[in-house]
Amino acid sequence: MTKKIPSKWKGACEEGQDFNASMCNFKLIGARYFNKGMIAANPNATITMNSPRDTIGHGTHTSSTVAGNYVNGASYNGYAKGVARGIAPRARLAMYKVAWEEGHYASDILAGMDQAIFDGVDVISISIGFDEVPLYEDTIAIASFAAMEKGIVVSSSAGNSGPMLRTLHNGIPWLITVAAGTMDRTFGSLILGNGKKIIGSTMFETNSIVENLPLVYNKTFSSCNSMNLVSQVNNKQVIILCDSISNSSVISQMNFVSTTEVLGAIFVSDNPSLFDLGGIYSPSIVINSEDAKSVINYAKTSKNPTASIKFQETFVGIKPAPIAAKYSSRGPSNSYQGILKPDIMAPGSRILAAYIPDETSSSDFVFMSGTSMSCPHVSGVAALLKASHPQWSAAAIRSAMMTTASFLDNTKTPIRDSGYLLQSASPFAIGAGEIDPNRAMNPGLIYDATPQDYVNLLCGLNYTKEQILSITRSSHYNCDNPSLDLNYPSFIAFFSNKTSLTGQKFKRTVTNVGDGGASYRVKVTQPKGYVVTVSPDILDFSYGNEKKSYYVFIKCVVYNEENVSFGDLVWIEDGGKHSVRSPIVVAPSGI
């Protein structure tokens, strides 16, 4: 990183409580705080930290995920030990504190985002959202429209209210909405007395020694959630095996065992989200039901079964991964359901990143889970794309991420959903799929959109002039060409008995951002019960930045008023260099 602040930067390092201008540097080049709205609503409030300083850790964690520099020997109490860095470690940061322990208010968020735009940022990462608010009253929609006009990418979190449908916030057409998934990483192992090693999952914070202890398994108290456990296990210097795989039962078991004096415990669960929003409070480990079979067999057949639990171990390459997180909010968007949201998924579960000084922990890094954690991954990739392609619009950068995302996990099967019994995840959960930063750098084709295109959408929604002005804050747009068919890198169609007879038509225009001429052929995976046709089915480009249009027609074959169907449309370049994928969702209109 050069020790020179970009000449375009207009920001400042605003002083306040426990924060002075000298705390900014060549990484943190700006820091401001906004609380006039909060003070107006709570004039007698005592502000906990009246400055840009973070008091709850959320901003520190997310910003270090976006652009934290290299840190050797990072870990959380020995877990995930190694070199930590953000997605764009050479990027610079400016912080805008708009949320307070005393509350957060729309006016402060708008002021903060507007200031960031004026200061000259390239990307805005915002892990905040509003629910049940129309676009013309949504502060983030209004501020992000101004950002989009200036080519600034806005990356936002989908929310943590999954897995039910229609729980998503930030379903705004001109920004990026990010869902959360798991990683291929886990912690801890179980070693049986016969030498068998089983990789499990634990985040017990103390380096407890649980070695070569008797392994106790008794079917009469294997539920591990009653006083039978205490009364029948006289020797507490043992490891007990609890074999219920219900997620709610496992949480109950954990809570109960933590109140006993039993030295170690083994729990059984196939749910990858067990630790996403909570910790583990006893020296224990979780294994899956398949591995549990061999442990139970060993406990039953061995004369003197023993086991050891190893903590502070880290394993990567775990399969399957990623998996859509149960908590991640799902589409369709309440802002406007005609745009498929979320757009993309990124790692959000058990993310290790920097944290504020905390008297209860000796670690400068902690694990946190949520779409607040997945959002900054996409923000960092947006920063890298912006640096590589400074001429690209915010829509082009979003398109590059979406069309190159993977809908397959590391077993080469469709990404699964922990909120729905590990079935294949719908685009309502994962959007186009898991972000792939390297492929996004060279997407082949992009779907672009101008500010006027978004206004055409608002006009098509029959917004009034005043409602549109509240979003655009400018009168130089017009409603000459209202359209609900935005040039977006995904497709969503809603059918009723009436529309099932006529079908739905879409127009899309792609721009060739590859090297010179190219020819693309379409491949469609049909949503169940529907037929998708594309015309033309071959796109021939003669030169770079050439645009070509095509039409998609979706017709219902078997109407089902309950089921969501999904497929995809992929443009494959001759020679196989690029494939440009768009998810397709077809749903009943009353979903």
DSSP 254-266: HHHHTTS--SEEE
pLDDT at 45: 87
Residues 175/145, Cβ–Cβ less than 8 Å: no
559's CB contacts (< 8 A; 6+ apart) are: 495, 497, 500, 529, 588
User: Active site includes 58?
Assistant: yes
How many C-beta atoms lie closer than 10 Å to residue 522's C-beta? 19
Residues 352/185, Cβ–Cβ less than 8 Å: no
235 closest CA partner among 255, 214, 251 = 214
What type of residue sits at position 53? R
The dihedral built from the CA positions of residue 114, 119, 125 and 127, taken in this order, carries a sign that is negative
46's CB contacts (< 8 A; 6+ apart) are: none
pLDDT at 271: 82
Tokens linked to 438: 């390297």
pLDDT at 87: 98
Given the residues 222, 372, 490, 582, the one annotated as active site: 372
The span from the CA of 171 to the CA of 105, in Å, is: 19
Residues 311/202, Cβ–Cβ less than 8 Å: yes
User: Active site includes 388?
Assistant: no
pLDDT at 282: 82
Residue 428: phi, psi to the nearest 5?
-65, -20
484's CB contacts (< 8 A; 6+ apart) are: 338, 457, 460, 461
Residues 152/122, Cβ–Cβ less than 8 Å: yes
DSSP 455-505: HHHHHHTT--HHHHHHHH--S----SS--S----SSEEEEE-TTGGGT-EE
57's CB contacts (< 8 A; 6+ apart) are: 355, 356, 358, 366, 368
The helix/strand/coil state of 528 is coil
Q: How far is the first Cα of the chain from the last one, in angstroms, to the nearest whole number?
A: 50
Residues 371/201, Cβ–Cβ less than 8 Å: no
pLDDT at 500: 65
Identify each DSSP E strand in 317-430 by its residue range.
Answer: 323-324, 344-347, 351-354, 365-368, 416-417, 423-424
Tens-of-pLDDT digits for all 591 residues of the chain?
667 898 999 999 999 999 999 999 999 999 999 999 999 999 988 899 999 999 999 999 999 999 999 999 999 989 999 999 999 999 999 999 999 988 889 999 999 999 999 999 999 999 999 988 999 999 999 999 999 999 999 999 999 999 999 999 999 999 999 999 999 999 999 999 999 999 999 988 777 789 999 998 877 667 787 655 555 566 678 999 988 766 667 888 888 888 777 889 999 988 877 777 666 778 999 999 999 999 999 999 999 999 999 999 999 999 999 999 999 999 999 999 999 999 999 999 999 999 998 766 678 999 999 999 999 999 999 999 999 999 999 999 999 999 999 999 999 999 999 999 889 999 999 999 999 999 999 999 999 999 999 999 999 999 999 999 999 999 899 999 999 999 999 999 999 876 666 789 999 999 999 989 999 999 999 999 999 999 999 999 999 999 999 999 999 988 777 788 999 999 999 997 999 999 999 998 877
What type of residue sits at position 185? R
Tokens linked to 232: 């029948």
The span from the CA of 285 to the CA of 274, in Å, is: 11
Tokens linked to 521: 């052929």
How many C-beta atoms lie closer than 10 Å to residue 206's C-beta? 10
Tokens linked to 222: 């294997």
Bridge partners for 265 per DSSP: 240, 284
Tokens linked to 322: 């990623």
pLDDT at 191: 98
What long-range pairs does 471-477 form, CB within 8 A, spacing at least 24? 471/135, 471/136, 471/141, 471/142, 471/145, 472/145, 473/142, 473/145, 473/146, 477/451, 477/452
Tokens linked to 295: 């442990």
The helix/strand/coil state of 183 is coil
Tokens linked to 363: 């670690």
Given the residues 58, 169, 389, 578, the one annotated as active site: 58
pLDDT at 118: 98
pLDDT at 247: 62
The span from the CA of 83 to the CA of 68, in Å, is: 11
Tokens linked to 146: 């101004």
pTM to 2 decimals?
0.95
